[in-house]
Structure 1
Amino acid sequence: MNPPEQLPRRQMIKTTAAAVAGTALAAANSVATADGGTSKMLRIGVISATNRGKPQARNGHTWHFAQYFHPTIDLDAFCKFVDPGSAEFFRKYVRHPRCTFDQLPFPDTRITHYYDANPKDAADFAKAFPGVQVAPSVAELVDQVDAIWLGDASGYGDDHFDLVAPGLRKGLPTFCDKPIGETPAGTRKILEFARRCKTPIMSSSLFRHEWGTEAALRMRDSGEFGPIEYMVASLQSGYTDNGWMVYGQHPAWMVVTLMGAGVEAVSLYARGNAGHARVTFADRMPADIWYGRPNTPFIYNHTEVHFQKRKFEYSPAIEGDFWYGHHYEMFRMAATFREMVKTRREPIPHQEILDVTAMIHAGVKSRMEQSRLVRLAEVM
Structure 2
Amino acid sequence: GFELTKLWDENPQLAENMSKIYYGKPKVCDTFEKVSDDVDLVFIADCWGPDGRDHLKFATPGIEKNVPTFIDKPFAYEVKDAITLVQLAKKYKTPIMSLSMLRVLPHATRFRNRFAELGEPEFGIIKGGGDTMGGHIHAISLAQHLFGSGVESVEAMGQTPLAYVHLNYGDKPHRPKAGVMLNCACGDTYHCSMYASAYSKLGAIHSPNLGDFEFPYAVVEILKMIKKMVKTGKSQVSYEEMIECIAIATAGRLSQKERKRIYLREVLERK
TM-score of the pair, normalised by structure 2:
0.84
Name the counterpart of 2:127: 234
Instruction: Give CA deviations for 1:240-264 in whole Å, capped at 9, x if unaligned.
Output: xxx2x34212111112233332211
* Change over 3 Å in CA distance of 1:159–1:226 after alignment to 2: same
Pick the aligned partner of 2:69 from 153, 167, 174: 174
One-letter identity of the residue aligned with 1:366? S
Aligned partners of 1:295, 1:307: CA distance in 2, in Å? 28
Q: Does residue 340 of structure 1 match 2:234?
A: no
Name the counterpart of 1:367: 256
* Change over 3 Å in CA distance of 1:226–1:129 after alignment to 2: farther
How many residues are matched?
A: 260
Q: Does residue 159 of structure 1 match 2:47?
A: no
What secondary structure does 2:84 align onto? helix
Name the counterpart of 1:293: 186
Q: Does residue 379 of structure 1 match 2:267?
A: yes
Give 1:211 deviation, angstroms: 3.0
* Change over 3 Å in CA distance of 1:273–1:201 after alignment to 2: closer
Give 1:177 deviation, angstroms: 2.1
Task: Point out the more displaced range, 201-210 or 294-303.
Answer: 294-303
Instruction: Give CA deviations for 1:12-40 in whole Å, capped at 9, x if unaligned.
Output: xxxxxxxxxxxxxxxxxxxxxxxxxxxxx
Task: Output aligned runs, 1:250-261, within 5 Å.
Answer: 250-261=138-149
One-letter identity of the residue aligned with 2:254? K
Residues 114 and 141 in structure 1, CA contact (< 8 A), matched pair in contact too: yes
Residues 160 and 180 in structure 1, CA contact (< 8 A), matched pair in contact too: yes
Residues 299 and 315 in structure 1, CA contact (< 8 A), matched pair in contact too: no
Q: Does residue 135 of structure 1 match 2:8?
A: no
Give 1:235 deviation, angstroms: 0.7
* Change over 3 Å in CA distance of 1:261–1:275 after alignment to 2: same
Give 1:272 deviation, angstroms: 7.0
Q: Does residue 265 of structure 1 match 2:160?
A: no
Task: Output aligned runs, 1:291-370, within 5 Å.
Answer: 291-293=184-186, 300-306=193-199, 311-316=205-210, 322-370=211-259
Give 1:163 deviation, angstroms: 1.3
Structure 2 residue ranges without an equivalent (≥5): none
Aligned partners of 1:254, 1:161: CA distance in 2, in Å? 24
* Change over 3 Å in CA distance of 1:304–1:341 after alignment to 2: farther
Task: Output aligned runs, 1:76-225, within 5 Å.
Answer: 108-130=1-23, 131-152=25-46, 154-216=49-111
What secondary structure does 2:122 align onto? strand
Task: Point out the more displaced range, 121-130 or 166-175.
Answer: 166-175
Q: Give the % identical residues.
A: 23
Larger RCO: Structure 1 or Structure 2 (Cα < 8 Å, ≥ 6 residues apart)?
A: 2
One-letter identity of the residue aligned with 1:315? N
Name the counterpart of 1:248: 136
Give 1:364 deviation, angstroms: 1.2
* Change over 3 Å in CA distance of 1:273–1:297 after alignment to 2: farther
Aligned partners of 1:300, 1:182: CA distance in 2, in Å? 23
TM-score of the pair, normalised by structure 1:
0.62
Q: Does residue 277 of structure 1 match 2:171?
A: no
